[in-house]
Structure 1
């Protein structure tokens, strides 16, 4: 009897999780203007949550049953939709699910090691991920954390001055002309200002996370 009850409880939790995931897909799908994009976005999310080791366009396309990766790649490349609006939807969802009066914002940077020189913002710079100076991109991230859990709520790509002073290079990487150089602390302050959460939050000492860095 106890085993049957445990199985029923597990099955009920699984159904509840699937229903919540479906609701989240529908919510973030409002950002995507076409049905095909919404379907691809849902498949992309399934791929991120799957057990495949590398989350590449090819492998996630195969995971969804597609023969080619073009729709997955187009979702993040050629398709037109508002990434900041999606960020806002995710942030609101996180605060609704994890919101707490003692919640905090945590700000830090992370690096992505690269081999080429065409990725936006790539340069020889210190990467905490590698623990040394590497050819890499640097992102400044905000996470919301409370006693109920934690999740990322914002992201910003750091562009060294070698990039922002070279508008032709920026254009080739699809970086808008309006984007100017900003230090990482300035990016963190701007991200904090955009995190207009519905519940009170304390800001954990983000100055300490980024101290001594551009």
Structure 2
């Protein structure tokens, strides 16, 4: 993809503009002469490469964009939920499926079985496009969680039904409030592992 970048002639300070940029070679002194300056156009347009990490054919940029993410205690299922969202939406063409191993792909993450750095996935529904940040839950990587949460418009707090709220659940909720996240969805995970119906209802 090519993007145009405009520079006003008066701000050009290069020693020499090369022919590879589509212009004649001129010295800096020639560019600053009054006669030469009058003959230059109002601005010079250079073409630069713009990197894109999303597949333009898959995602429509005309939809409203929302930054969301998963937060919560370590091993409560944040990355598994992120992978499940991409799995479900991939069946309707709204996402590219990213498995658990694709999200936590660093060697140390695979060895320890936990998320260490934030991971980013994209998906869309009929009405919106989402950028999803999967945050680490371990207390040792709280700075990485804050970095990810600072970008969010809303968050999904994942709580394991078997453990209930844990220290990082409470800390992540507090930090989410401090960085200005006002919209939260609570996702109760591992509900199938609860035998006590009363506990599940609570």
Q: TM-score range by the shorter chain?
A: under 0.3
Decide which structure has the larger Cα Rg and report it: 2
Structure with the bigger RCO (C-alpha within 8 Å, sep 6+) is: 2
Q: TM-score, normalised by structure 1?
A: 0.24
Q: TM-score, normalised by structure 2?
A: 0.25
Q: Which has the higher strand share?
A: 2
